[in-house]
A = this chain, B = another copy of it.
Amino acid sequence: MTLALAEAEAAFARGEVPIGAVVVLDGEVIGRGGNRTRELNDPTAHAEILAIRAATNAKASERIPGADLYVTLEPCPMCAAAISFARIRRLYFGASDPKGGAVENGVRFYQSPTCHHSPDVYSGFAETESAAMLRTFFRERR
């Protein structure tokens, strides 16, 4: 989660919403990313999506069972579904996102019958730091 926080800090420095993600397989980082939606003009360039795409590319497979994903904020429906499609084993996230989350909030995708693979979910890691960074970012933008 320390690496995910570093990715979030780097996103902040680039003027992007500060969220970071890391994918780990067998103790090795195989993908990492921070938000780049503005830089790339790409609404899908969330931290999790970039980290997953890097990881599946590194493993030359669209599925990476056994891999774990660490992300500083609760995933949105787009990222929650991508995590499912990639067959991520465990999801560790930081702050909860009542406004946009899709794991413990909103549509709770992993509890839907249309979800065909659910990761084990662990939340609250580095929650304070993750949430503080987001608050600072949005306060500065106002």
Contacts and interface: CB of A to CB of B under 8 A. Distances in A.
A114 B85 contact: no
- The count of identical subunits is 2
A57 interface: yes
Classify the interface of chain A: helix, strand, loop or mixed.
loop
A24 interface: no
A103 B44 CA distance: 18
B114 A106 contact: yes
Contacts of A79: 78
A61 B41 contact: yes
Interface of A: 37-38, 40-45, 49, 52-53, 56-57, 59-63, 76-82, 85-86, 98-102, 105-109, 112-114, 116
